[in-house]
Amino acid sequence: MNAVWPHLPILQVVVPLIGAVLAGFLRRAGPAFAVALAVSWLMPLIAGAMLWQVLASGPISYHIGSWPPPWGIEYRVDVLGGFMLLLVSTVGAVIMPFARRSVAFEVEDGQQAWFYCMYLLCLTGLLGIVTTGDAFNAFVFLEVSSLSTYVLVALGRDRRALLAAFQYLIMGTIGATFYIIGVGLLYLLTGSLNMADIAARLGPEWAGHSRAIVAALAFITVGVSLKLALFPLHAWLPNAYAYAPSWVTAFLSATATKVAIYLLVRFFFSIFGVAIDFRELPVTDIVIALSIAAMFVASVIAVFQTDLKRMLAYSSVAQIGYITLGIGLANQAGLTGGLVHIVNHALMKAALFLAAGAIFFRIGTVRLSDLAGIGRKMPLTMTAFTVACFGLVGTPGTSGFISKWFLVLGALDKGWWVPVFLIVGSSLIALVYVGRVLEVVWLREPSAAIANASDPPLSMLLPLVVLAAATIYFGLDTQWTAGIAGTAVKNLLGGLR
């Protein structure tokens, strides 16, 4: 144990990478799934151990190859990083048992081992982005996770999945290239790629050269916003989510966009916020305006969808708006609300997409018109679905309420009344699109086509119920979410100029 302890940050990244190679070599679906499951269940243990260590004794700094930073690549885990690692790895671990049957149903036999290989590569990239303290290394991990995601999306059975993957590839690559242009400008200015070192070197003496810094900020903001699907850069998301295999959608909605949001927070508050006075830049105002637009436009579009997965995808764009609103508010309560909503939205959206996957597993479609009365045939699945729906709206007693409460507090701290009404107003639109589905699912008579449907097997039901239970649990006990997020925010805001 003592030999492993100091190497946790690199193990977090290397174990899934080795697992991916192994899963690819095994070629058969069963063994590949076993590898993916073992790795997925190991990851939260490593992440939890690191978070515990960080909370007890401060940030972990790991020097790869013993090269001290800023020359070597530094892996750095602070409270925010540990928090995100635990979220991503836990979601992966909880939903993994669902994958076996769902993937066997939706992905062709010969491709299932590659599916698990790509999933583990994607996990490697996502965990790597959070672990690394090096801006260029983050780009490499961003592309590792993105390239494997394009493959995962393309594995959907529908031919439109190919088109969605191609569009995602184009948009994602433009986003990553914008990001690397921004990092390049920072490198030209400072000669460093280590995030903490860049922040230290972009001190006050650069005030006269601020135009290049602003250009770098703009490139990085736009690039990362493409990856996290900030409105209006979200065009790739609905198709990718709608046509990807169900399990992939659940995994991506809970982790991929969230990790991109982490990267944005990191650049805003650990690099640019330290270097230049944030209030002088219009960037937070722009982020707030786009977030509010996302909350409304995407919610309204969601109301008019006829496909359950597509509706949930547009709802994701809207919910990402709440998170970025918290980032834009940039005060203690607001940013805490944003970070808490990362967790809460990840858990409930994973539950919702898993429920959609369970429905697809039983009746082979997720068109709203085919779901009439399915609540009576799949009562446990749809109860979990309903709980997560209430979380999405933000009903008191569910986790969605907690994050919106913090966001409202954040807006009030600034003396802004309008965003408060807008948060409540967009929740009402969420109630409309969620209510539409619940009405179809519970109140209508089941049609003959779904007469034989029933709740899915336990391996699929259990992850769903756990996530729905978490939606309620984190609505009642906020020590783990708001408590740790609050500590992370205090550290982030404490470093600002």
Partner 1 sequence: MPTLAIVTDHYHYAITIFLMMAGLYIVVARGNMVKKLVGLSIFQTSVYLLYVEPGKIIGGTAPIIDPSFTVYSNPLPHVLMLTAIVVGMATLALGLALVVRINEAYGTIEEDEIFERDRET
* Residue given tokens 């969230």 in the structure block: 258
134: which strand partners?
Answer: 194
Assess 348 for contact with partner 1 (CB under 8 A): no
Scanning 132-194, the segments in alpha helix (DSSP H) are 135-154, 160-190
Q: Is residue 355 a contact partner of residue 464, using CB atoms and an 8 Å limit?
A: yes
The residue from 143, 416, 457, 490 that contacts partner 1 (CB under 8 A) is: 143
> 145-155 burial by CB neighbour count: b if 16+ within 10 A, else e?
bbbbbbbbbbb
Output the smallest distance, CB 66 to partner 1, in A: 19
State which residue, 6 or 72, has the beta carbon closest to partner 1: 72
Least distance in angstroms from the C-beta of 384 to partner 1: 33
**Of positions 23, 180, 355, 450, contacts partner 1 by CB under 8 A:** 180
- Residue 139 or 262 having the CB closest to partner 1: 139
Q: How far is the CB of 413 from partner 1 (least distance, A)?
A: 39
Tokens of 352: 């919702």
**Binds partner 1 by CB under 8 A, chosen from 64, 174, 215, 300:** 174
Residue type, 52: W
Q: Is the Cβ–Cβ distance between 131 and 9 less than 8 Å?
A: yes
- Taken as a whole, the chain contains a residue count of 497
Q: Which stretch binds partner 1 (CB under 8 A): 33-41, 182-190, 364-372, 386-394?
A: 182-190
Under the binding rule (CB under 8 A), the answer on residue 20 touching partner 1 is no
Should residue 307 be labelled a site residue for partner 1 when binding is judged by CB under 8 A?
Answer: no
28 near partner 1, judged by CB under 8 A: no
By CB under 8 A, residue 159 contacts partner 1: yes
Stretch that binds partner 1, among 9-17, 19-27, 51-59, 175-183 (CB under 8 A): 175-183
For residues 120 and 19, the answer to whether their CB atoms sit within 8 Å is: yes
Note whether 26 and 113 are within 8 A (CB).
yes
Please tell me whether residue 366 binds partner 1 under the rule CB under 8 A: no
The footprint of partner 1 on residues 384-413 (CB under 8 A) is none
Task: Note whether 438 and 365 are within 8 A (CB).
Answer: no
Minimum CB distance to partner 1 smaller for 166 or for 278: 166
The Cα–Cα gap between 347 and 85 comes to 14
DSSP for 178-207, please give it: HHHHHHHHHHHHHS--BHHHHHHHS-GGGG
Q: Of 86, 95, 165, 202, which one interacts with partner 1 (CB under 8 A)?
A: 165
CA-atom Rg of the chain in angstroms: 22
Which among 475, 153, 168 has a CA at the least distance from the CA of 345? 475
Considering the rule CB under 8 A, would residue 154 count as an interface residue with partner 1? Answer: yes
Query: Would you count residue 170 as binding partner 1 (CB under 8 A)?
Result: yes
Which x/- pattern over 103-142 shows residues binding partner 1 (rule: CB under 8 A)?
A: ---------------------------------x--xx--
The yes or no reply on residue 187 touching partner 1 (CB under 8 A) is yes
Instruction: Residue 45: count other Cβ atoms within 10 Å of its Cβ.
Output: 12
Q: Which residues bind partner 1 (CB under 8 A)?
A: 136, 139-140, 143, 147, 150-151, 154, 159-160, 162-163, 165-166, 169-170, 173-174, 176-177, 180-181, 184, 187-188, 193
